Structure 1
């Protein structure tokens, strides 16, 4: 995004009071004598970094009976959009808020136990959950920036060293999630079937189609790309949601797991050693977790977060790297299901290839947006002059046009822009 503040800043919710936080922290720290002395709240992320929720960083000072000296603590509060904004009206159809609360309250603690005690990996995978409040649709969790975890720049993206580390951690996460499903049949049966594409709702359809139409308009004046790709993009407008559903339909014999579902640079963090090499990676933001093929996480990550030379020149070998890490973790955890061969897994990856289309052509340009227009889901949905200006400006920058010339050719060679 541009340095200009072009997003609405959401106020701190009225219910997020000193008394409320004092009660929740007292429970988490198992100290009923905890007394909040000071509270400061501010937005936790830059405007434009998140389109689906409000995240607030809370700094508090407190005392207890055991120590009269003030203790400091910082944590994050994640809350749904207030006032029933268009973003909330879309996302409510996907159950993302109740799902993420369930993930933080029930799923992640079990996965963390498996990863730590059975896979014998002492590294963190997720932020600790402090409190889940279903009445207020909010989650309080550990602020990993205090332990020097950082997100990478969404414009420079991740290099090979970061990619290998993240794929290793992703493979372990996927393996543990599959093993948990074996041990707890039905644990993902409710509310883990609604990703961006699903058979229950197409509420995201207008967002994707409006962006695809903006891409088509940009190709109208592009003498190089327009003649080659505009007609294909126009046909895709009518078929986008059908192809998306097809790309996430599970087939007999597919290896399935709990996928993150929204795996891009804002939703994972790295910790570094004294020489600035990444030594650990953790996952955050689990609103779009989905019981599906791990290939959708790979496509999403590759399309939105890899440096270009890695995605376009080394994608197949990165899938192989991930696959061997996955198999190793599954065997260590004594997974009893069928483990696909590398050949079968590569086919499974290719069969989910359309997932890369919407990530590459719709989501990534918005993620990379640096223009001056107000950026929001409301703007993407709007046919107003301001909304049209924003959508068109997403595809106007020279950087986006240059990237599209590579991306469109890359997708087209796999037949992903043709009738399927």
Structure 2
């Protein structure tokens, strides 16, 4: 592919290679450059993805192939480009990887290294796939087993611990250190934010699916009346807390945003987090509940929830001990457990907000992103019809959506809302 398409110059490539070899004194030359699609089908929703391969010769006559992951603002789909620019998702991810996350990497590793950013439209990362990391197959509908959850919780604890430790080291909060960088851009009521309309559309989809799933429920009318306001709590839940300690939260912890490396027997032994475009400043319990809810079933959480949040907290404890700090001085365990109860609702709400799209059958996604016209239809009545069609015709989607919806309805019914007779 033509590098001009990506606005990558020879000087840009030399910067990328120099940062890759930052600890080496060897001289090198770039012999060849190849850019190719990362996958035959789309692997993400909020960017276009490519592999950047460079053949490099060093002054010891070594020839090496360097492989990078290239993420760019999509230009082929103008409606998507406008959406990303208006919500600031790409801009936020560039700022985080360029200015903020490298400071956290001095404590621990939790994400791929970014070697280069440009014009808030392009990022160049290490290629995790070439280093044998991979996501869990979508055939599992985003469900993690306990081994994967533990590795995911470990890396989440590293992110949150590094956040706390940098604030402790500097004596300043992240909003003070990096004003505006962590401002909410996922669920925020503000003028000209397309996600406000998007949330209204999602609530319509939810109510239409509830009519199918809860057809025989005697409280159906009251559920449909109160459910929209219940979901709209998300606008408050994503805000920094005035009660609990806040950290850098990832904010988008569905299955494909976690990549795992495996031992020869198939056991995951390392996990890294990708795609930080919805990062926010909130209590760690927000992320913990999001991860545990989006990647498990309600029955699994009944059996293992307390055990897993204890596992997470012990990972935080180990991170602090390794850095000669006491976790109790920064986020007391009792306060953390209280915050986990508070943010269980956000996990259940996010479970539908995220997974009603991410779990759609591959054919639906490929069709949606096949043209600007089809992408423009991915809202309003057309999106409602698509989700209802998937609920009716795809058994895997139907099973997961029924469970997600019933968990959400159960939380609504137990929330203390008074129903009319």
The bucket for the TM-score relative to the shorter chain is 0.7 to 0.9
Measured on the aligned residues, the alpha-carbon RMSD in Å equals 3.2
Unaligned runs of 5+ in 2: 370-374
Residues 240 and 281 in structure 2, CA contact (< 8 A), matched pair in contact too? no
Aligned-pair CA distance for 1:11? 9.6
Match of 1:166 in 2: 152
Aligned-pair CA distance for 1:292? 0.6
SS in 2 for 1:101: helix
Match of 1:367 in 2: 358
CA distance in 2, matches of 1:359, 1:321: 22
Residues 41 and 57 in structure 1, CA contact (< 8 A), matched pair in contact too? yes
Aligned-pair CA distance for 1:259? 0.7
Match of 1:127 in 2: 112
CA distance in 2, matches of 1:203, 1:74: 35
Match of 2:97 in 1: 104
CA separation of 1:195 and 1:23: change in aligned 2, threshold 3 A:
same
CA separation of 1:312 and 1:51: change in aligned 2, threshold 3 A:
farther
SS in 2 for 1:38: strand
Query: TM-score if structure 2 supplies the norm length?
Result: 0.82
CA offset digits 1:106-144 (Å, max 9, x no partner): 2222222112xxxxxxxx4222221122x2521111001
Aligned-pair CA distance for 1:88? 3.2
CA distance in 1, matches of 2:296, 2:2: 34
CA separation of 1:345 and 1:46: change in aligned 2, threshold 3 A:
farther
CA separation of 1:200 and 1:149: change in aligned 2, threshold 3 A:
same
CA distance in 1, matches of 2:235, 2:326: 29
Match of 1:285 in 2: 275
Are residue 381 (structure 1) and residue 379 (structure 2) matched? yes
Are residue 50 (structure 1) and residue 36 (structure 2) matched? no
Residues 254 and 348 in structure 1, CA contact (< 8 A), matched pair in contact too? yes
CA distance in 2, matches of 1:114, 1:355: 29
CA distance in 1, matches of 2:158, 2:127: 23
Aligned-pair CA distance for 1:84? 6.9
Are residue 91 (structure 1) and residue 84 (structure 2) matched? yes
CA distance in 2, matches of 1:219, 1:388: 12
Aligned-pair CA distance for 1:312? 4.3
Pick the aligned partner of 2:126 from 123, 142, 150.
142
CA distance in 2, matches of 1:409, 1:112: 40
Match of 1:6 in 2: none
Match of 2:372 in 1: none
CA distance in 1, matches of 2:107, 2:352: 37
CA distance in 1, matches of 2:157, 2:216: 37
Match of 1:72 in 2: 65
Match of 1:313 in 2: 303
Residues 211 and 391 in structure 1, CA contact (< 8 A), matched pair in contact too? no
Match of 2:242 in 1: 252
Query: TM-score if structure 1 supplies the norm length?
Result: 0.82
Are residue 182 (structure 1) and residue 168 (structure 2) matched? yes
SS in 2 for 1:59: strand
CA offset digits 1:294-327 (Å, max 9, x no partner): 1221222122223564334322321222123223
